Amino acid sequence: MTPRFEPVIIGFLCNWCSYTGADLAGVARLQYPPNLRPIRVMCTGMVHPDLVTEAFASGADGVLIMGCHPGECHYFKGNIKAAARAKVISIILRASGVDPRRFELNWISSAEASVFAKLITEFTMRIVKLGPHKVAP
């Protein structure tokens, strides 16, 4: 039997909302697949596009950026900037042969543990369906 494909998904979680929401998912014992590798950042606005492209270049199968809902950013509009960048990142990814479906930006508030668990489950399923990401030589 071939082992199930276990994708590696890198998640950039903002300290104020999404990381807290992810912690709360733990407190509530909401179950989701163990493929997310969380990286805590202060704000989604600090995630440089290079980090995303580098993640794919290193062999990540998926990348998620998660931050506060629009209007709730601890730094006023970091998440809005992140959203603008996300659009550009998708374009870059497509151009460099990465399926843009492997990348997503999402809003998770600190109370939305169930939303977080659902999102990670669905995103993991999507990446499993897409199969392993092959790094271009």
Q: Are the C-beta atoms of 93 and 56 separated by less than 8 Å? A: yes
- Contact pick of 64, 98, 105, 113 for another protein (by CB under 8 A): 113
Report the alpha-carbon angle 42-121-109, nearest 5. 35
99 touching another protein, by CB under 8 A? no
42 touching another protein, by CB under 8 A? yes
134 touching another protein, by CB under 8 A? no
CA distance 71 to 75: 10
Q: Minimum Å distance from CB 26 to another protein?
A: 3
Report the alpha-carbon angle 65-68-70, nearest 5. 110
70 touching another protein, by CB under 8 A? no
Here the tokens at position 74 are 């601890």
Q: Minimum Å distance from CB 28 to another protein?
A: 7
- The number of residues making up the chain comes to 137
Q: Minimum Å distance from CB 37 to another protein?
A: 4
Starting at the edge strand found earlier in the chain, the sheet holding 103-107 runs: 36-41, 9-14, 62-67, 103-107
- Contact pick of 62, 64, 67, 68 for another protein (by CB under 8 A): 68
Residues at the contact surface with another protein, assessed by CB under 8 A: 6, 8, 10, 15-17, 19-20, 22-43, 45-51, 54-55, 58-60, 68-69, 71-72, 74-78, 81-82, 85, 109-115, 117
